[in-house]
Amino acid sequence: MRRTIRFLASLLAVLGLTVGLSACGNPSLAAQDVLQADRKSQTMTWGVRADIRLFGLLDTRDNQIKGFEIDLAKAITKQILGPKGRAKFVQVTSATRMPMLENGDVDAIMATVTKTPERAKMVAFSSTYFNAGQSLLVKKGSSIKNIHDLNAQHGTILGVVGANSVEKALAIAPQAKGLQLTDYAQAMTALKSGQGQALTTDNGILYGLSLQNPGYVVTGGTFVAEPYGIAMAKQQQPLKRAVDQALVTLRQDGEYQRLINKWFHNVKGFDYEEAAHQ
In this structure, are residues 75 and 248 in contact, taking their beta carbons and an 8 Å threshold? no
Euclidean distance between CA atoms 236 and 255, whole angstroms: 25
H-type alpha helices, 173-236:
184-192, 203-212
Residues 6+ away with beta carbon under 8 Å from 30? 104, 233, 235
Options 22-30, 69-77, 107-115, 173-181: segment touching ligand GLU (CB under 6 A): 107-115
**Which one among 135, 146, 164, 197 touches ligand GLU, defined by CB under 6 A?**
164
170 binds ligand GLU (CB under 6 A): no
Of 152 and 172, which CB lies nearer to ligand GLU in the complex structure? 172
**Interface with ligand GLU includes 131 (CB under 6 A)?**
no
What CA–CA distance (Å, rounded) separates 201 from 55? 13
Helix axes 237-252, 68-81, angle to 10 degrees: 110
Is 54 a residue that touches ligand GLU (CB under 6 A)? no
Helix (H, G, I), strand (E, B) or coil at 126: coil
94 forms part of the interface with ligand GLU (CB under 6 A): yes
- Residue 79 engages ligand GLU in binding (rule: CB under 6 A): no
203 touching ligand GLU, by CB under 6 A: no
Q: Residue 168 gets which letter from DSSP?
A: H
Please give the Cα distance from 168 to 52 (Å, whole number).
Answer: 20
Subset of 242-271 contacting ligand GLU (CB under 6 A): none
Candidate residues 34, 136, 150, 160; the one interacting with ligand GLU per rule CB under 6 A: 160
Residue 115 is given by DSSP the state: -
The interface mask with ligand GLU, positions 222-241, x = CB under 6 A, is ----x---------------
Using CB under 6 A as the binding rule, whether residue 163 contacts ligand GLU is answered as: yes
Kindly indicate which of the ranges 1-9, 108-116, 145-153, 270-278 contains the residues binding ligand GLU, using the contact rule CB under 6 A.
108-116
- Three-state SS for 9-38 is HHHHHHHHHHHHHHHHCCCCHHHCCHHHHH
188 binds ligand GLU (CB under 6 A): no
149 binds ligand GLU (CB under 6 A): no
Determine the interface stretch with ligand GLU among 9-17, 20-28, 84-92, 106-114 (rule: CB under 6 A): 106-114
Residue 101 and residue 170 in contact, taking contact as beta carbons nearer than 8 Å = no
Number of helices followed by number of strands (H, E) in the chain: 12, 13
> Are residues 106 and 232 in contact, defined by beta-carbon separation less than 8 angstroms?
no
Options 65-73, 162-170, 213-221, 251-259: segment touching ligand GLU (CB under 6 A): 162-170
Tell me how crowded residue 262 is: count the other CB atoms within 10 A of its CB.
11
Residue 152 CB, shortest distance to ligand GLU, in Å, is 24
Minimum CB separation of residue 111 from ligand GLU in Å reads 6
CB under 6 A: which stretch of 37-45, 56-64, 160-168, 261-269 binds ligand GLU? 160-168
Q: Which residues bind to ligand GLU, rule: CB under 6 A? A: 94, 112-114, 160, 163-165, 201-202, 226
